[in-house]
Structure 1
Amino acid sequence: MFTLATWNINSVRLREGLVARLLRDEAPDILCLQECKSPVDKIPLAQFRELGYGHVVARGQKGYNGVAILSRLPIEDAGDRDWARLGHARHVAARLENGVTIHNIYVPAGGDIPDRAVNEKFAQKLDFVAEMRDVFHADRPERAIMVGDFNIAPREDDVWSHKQLLKVVSHTPIEVDHLLAAQEAGGWVDITRQDIPEGQLYSWWSYRARDWDAADRGRRLDHVWASPDIAQAGHGSRVLRGVRGWDQPSDHVPVFASFDL
């Protein structure tokens, strides 16, 4: 069995101490980070290695995007893809010794206006997810886990108010349709909702809220999916809501799952 976590850290250099705290307190075997905002050679790995995370694959760029996989288990670099030809560091894959491939993906946020005709960022987001659909349809994943900040909350109970967010980027019908089409194309199973099928569940709370906890206007933007051949091995999902209350936190919190593989 191994335990995996995904977390949009919103600058790994700024929040190195929070990453170290999570590794000490929760000790996942694998931690996938998004929005590292750092070139690979500037990611502060020394403290993570001291904590036992000596295996790393990452893709980075200065100030934006960036994804990294930290592991206590041996992993090998399994490549990356430049989704929608954006030239962004938004994907990296690692392969475990048991042959399971872990994909760490950071889908574009999409800006503020949910109209591709007037908002290039929204168009890029839709194109990114549409390419995911096409790739999974052409090459159906096997023995694969895909995690990350998908920047889409697909279910009505993945947001604080389905009705009020229908025209807000991250929960618009066109985004949800695109994400569900990508999920269906690959046969991906949403492990978090397999384990926690009912009820409101969030992994992100805006910085704009004066009291994020009391307002509780969250969205589930961070996901753990598994290919259908290994989905039944997934269990133990949890969202670490309390991390949002740490000092100088990311606006996202870690999402965990374990796999008996």
Structure 2
Amino acid sequence: ELKAFPFDVQQLRIQLETISHWRQLDGTRRGSLPRGYSYIVQPVSRAEEGQLLWLHWDGTIFEWLFHSYSMQLSRSINPAGFTATRFELTLHVYRKFEHYLYKVLLPLWLIVCAAFTLQLVPIDEPAERVGHALTMFIAAFALLYVTADYLPKVDRLTMVDKLVLLSLTTLLWLSAESSMVYRIYEAQGMAAATRVDGLCGALGVLFYAAVTAILYIPPRREQLRQIARLTQDHTARCPSEAGSGAGASGA
């Protein structure tokens, strides 16, 4: 689920299944039973045991932070008669959002803030005002072109997509607003155009800031709530690891 991207919390599940048809890696032991099972699942007792399963993976999950884990062990009888033991390891991770904040959202917000400075350009110079707004619009598109590979390709709008659309719409509105106040200047004079321009500028800033906060803050708060809930669940499940196992750690 990427609706809250980049404030999403995900689960990475690893499932291992064992049946009584097995052979040791060195080939010295093997077994095969048509019914039941001939093994005992128990914790790893030697430090080097199980290294093959890592397959040269050092445990790093790029772009994510590891929070905690949960385990589940279950047995089921297959219709063929043999017993299968299933071990499921779930890794709870959450995304490092700082990359998207500093390289996508913050530059986009700065472009929009720069676009609002067209209020300083005289109303009777519409070409300068519209040109300023469209230049910022093109700059925003150039930024999105550069950062497009960082964003997920999904069939729904993520939080970042909504902020991008809001920013582009605001930049187009500034261009249209400049044309509108110039028409008012021609029809009713500079005083009326100045009042409308100031009102539109103030409302535009407030609207952009308010909608940005509405889109940005709830997903971040939800991520923090999910992290707190995971911490609480892990503490209840593994109290001995509460001080060292859970919590943010690089992964």
The two structures have a TM-score, normalised by structure 2, of 0.21
Structure with the greater alpha carbon radius of gyration: 2
Higher fraction of helix? 2
Q: Which has the higher contact order (CA 8 A, sep 6+)?
A: 2
- Give 1 or 2: higher strand fraction: 1
Q: What's the TM-score, normalizing by structure 1? A: 0.20
